[in-house]
Structure 1
Amino acid sequence: MCCPDHEVAHVLERNREHLANHCANSWQVRTLHALRKCRTAALGGHIDCCNNPACYKLHLSYNSCRNRHCPKCQGHKKEAWIQAREADLLKVSYFHVVFTLPCELNRLSLYEPKLVYNLLFTTAWGIVKDFGANPKFLGGRMGMVAILHTWGQNLSLHPHLHCIVPGGGITKTGKWKNTKSKGKYLFPVKAMSIVFRARFVAGLRKELGKSQPASFYESLFKNQWVVYCKRPFFGPSQVVEYLGRYTHKIAISNHRIKSLESGNVRFMVKDYRQGGKKSVLALSDAEFIRRFSLHILPKGFTRIRHYGILSSYYKRTLIPELQKDLGRPELAEKVPLKHRKCPSCKKGNLVTIATFPARGPPNGWREQIEKHLNRPI
């Protein structure tokens, strides 16, 4: 994919003196400045040399910020995550389950993000675990991988969890048991939605108590809550590929930005209520930065979590045994990552031979490299 003409970093750079005006806290400000400096001289850099004897070309690169909210730093992490999850796959049906919070909770999510998002994780897993333990539906111990997203296409606040759930579980005898639907569906979504709403509101009452008026809790019962559940069409490897798009995705990719003219940001949006119809939305720089900041997670918050038989402990002990009994799905051969391939000859690998701080390459860098390579450049 070619490099985009416009980036989130360009918007941040031209507003660098006023970023604090559009953020709710200092952590958001620090994050925006890190994104602004990503792959610029401000973070220093390194000099790479191709190890192909027919090439030996030098390449100067600036360092990445490696921030999880940065549009330019997620590709390699995503591929590594996909490969790690594929190693844990079983030859069974998998389901994509989405738990969505209503808009009535948006204001609370802004002021108490850790409380709301932690409760969302806990409630979602509790529902999957308890429905699975119920003999009416399965009668076994289940697993889940959950990924938090907080945005909609227009950068509005829209907290929801994307989950991978195997279509079965472990019985008390230690044997695998498929769901009673024969892989057609996981659990009844209407029942899951009702329980999801009741448990989440109960959790809020426990955490917040009388700090919120009774009318607030009553408003949460006015509408149905959304739980989406669908079996993947092409098997377990495809659901990991599909959710791999979500794991290290951020609120907006640079490729969606179409122009940055007259202090405005114009970017592509999809309206899923109208079958994914595309349109272009224009926001002022200030509004764009404000909305982007809504999706900067609290410091240290874990947005990808593993539960039950897919947790770290069971992946080391139980999953290998299940793979022996149930088998592993056939996976397409992976193309090796090319992020360290020489862009000139396409054959050699890049080897870092020198680094430099934010002020730029050190004096005499050329002589240092010639000495390292034992040849002139």
Structure 2
Amino acid sequence: MNNPCTLKSVLFQHLPHYQQTHTLSPHQSQVCSHILTCHTPALGSVAEQQCDQCDYTRPCYHSCRDRHCPSCQRDASQAWCERQREAQLPVNYHHLVFTLPSSLNARVSLHPEVIYRTLFESVWNTLSHFGNDPKRLNGQIGATMVLHTWGENLSRHVHLHCLVPGGAPMAFT
């Protein structure tokens, strides 16, 4: 039987080779370490079940609780998705991505809170301007925005994924 492809299995198999030619930031290294040790003896365990026949006790290994870990955040992620589904309007939705100019990536390490807040504010101002425009939606829109700080190759790539409804309630004046 084939082992399932998980982020942990990919990191376990490919991270050592990747690190031979690339340097991870301390934060990236910490996240990778958390994911690799999640639900393993390295984080300790509690007894889950004991067999009545042979006294074998199956351990239940602790999770890393890192927000980047797919196995730790699965339930929270599913609950968030369900809350979003309940709040949806009966309209089409559009996925928009707003990317921080690469020339500003080096400054993110210096002032992350300021840059992230400014990115969210700029994107929201842009979206709400288009929503309020009488030639477009002529209404008050909403959006769900998710900040991503890494690209697929684990390099700094700050961008916002936005889920924006294609309709809006009428704007109040």
Shift in alpha-carbon separation, 1:85–1:58, aligned structure 2, 3 A: farther
1:45 corresponds to 2:48: no
CA contact (8 A) 1:9 1:37 kept: no
Matched residue SS, 1:114: helix
Q: How does 1:160-171 map to 2 (within 5 A)?
A: 160-171=159-170
Structure 1 Cα separation of the partners of residues 92 and 70 of structure 2: 32
CA contact (8 A) 2:131 2:138 kept: yes
Structure 2 Cα separation of the partners of residues 64 and 22 of structure 1: 23
| Structure 1 position 43, deviation (Å) | 2.4
Gaps of 5+ in 2: 51-55
Matched residue SS, 1:138: coil
Structure 1 Cα separation of the partners of residues 171 and 141 of structure 2: 12
Q: Which of 8, 11, 14 is 2:11 aligned to?
A: 8
- What is the aligned partner in structure 2 of residue 239 from structure 1? none
CA contact (8 A) 1:9 1:35 kept: no
- Deviation string 1:19-40 (CA, Å, 9 cap, x unpaired) is xx9545xx66765554453222
- What is the aligned partner in structure 2 of residue 346 from structure 1? none
Which residue identity does 1:165 align to in structure 2? V
CA contact (8 A) 1:152 1:158 kept: yes
- Deviation string 1:34-55 (CA, Å, 9 cap, x unpaired) is 44532222322233349xxxxx
- Deviation string 1:152-197 (CA, Å, 9 cap, x unpaired) is 22222221111111112222469xxxxxxxxxxxxxxxxxxxxxxx
CA contact (8 A) 2:11 2:32 kept: no
CA contact (8 A) 1:148 1:159 kept: yes
Which is greater in Rg?
1
Aligned CA RMSD, in angstroms, stands at: 3.2
Structure 2 Cα separation of the partners of residues 45 and 9 of structure 1: 21
- What is the aligned partner in structure 2 of residue 133 from structure 1? 132
Structure 1 Cα separation of the partners of residues 5 and 153 of structure 2: 22
Which gives a bigger RCO, structure 1 or 2 (Cα 8 Å, sep 6+)? 1
CA contact (8 A) 2:99 2:158 kept: yes
CA contact (8 A) 2:144 2:163 kept: yes
Shift in alpha-carbon separation, 1:79–1:156, aligned structure 2, 3 A: same
Matched residue SS, 1:168: coil
- Deviation string 1:227-283 (CA, Å, 9 cap, x unpaired) is xxxxxxxxxxxxxxxxxxxxxxxxxxxxxxxxxxxxxxxxxxxxxxxxxxxxxxxxx
Shift in alpha-carbon separation, 1:172–1:71, aligned structure 2, 3 A: closer
CA contact (8 A) 2:93 2:165 kept: yes
Which residue identity does 1:106 align to in structure 2? N
| Pairs aligned (count) | 159
Among all aligned residue pairs of Structure 1 and Structure 2, give the percentage whose two residues are the same amino acid. Answer: 37
Gaps of 5+ in 1: 16-20, 51-56, 175-377
| Structure 1 position 150, deviation (Å) | 2.0
CA contact (8 A) 2:46 2:61 kept: yes
| Structure 1 position 99, deviation (Å) | 0.7
Q: TM-score, normalised by structure 2?
A: 0.73
Structure 1 Cα separation of the partners of residues 47 and 68 of structure 2: 26
Q: TM-score, normalised by structure 1?
A: 0.37
- What is the aligned partner in structure 2 of residue 99 from structure 1? 98
Shift in alpha-carbon separation, 1:47–1:143, aligned structure 2, 3 A: same
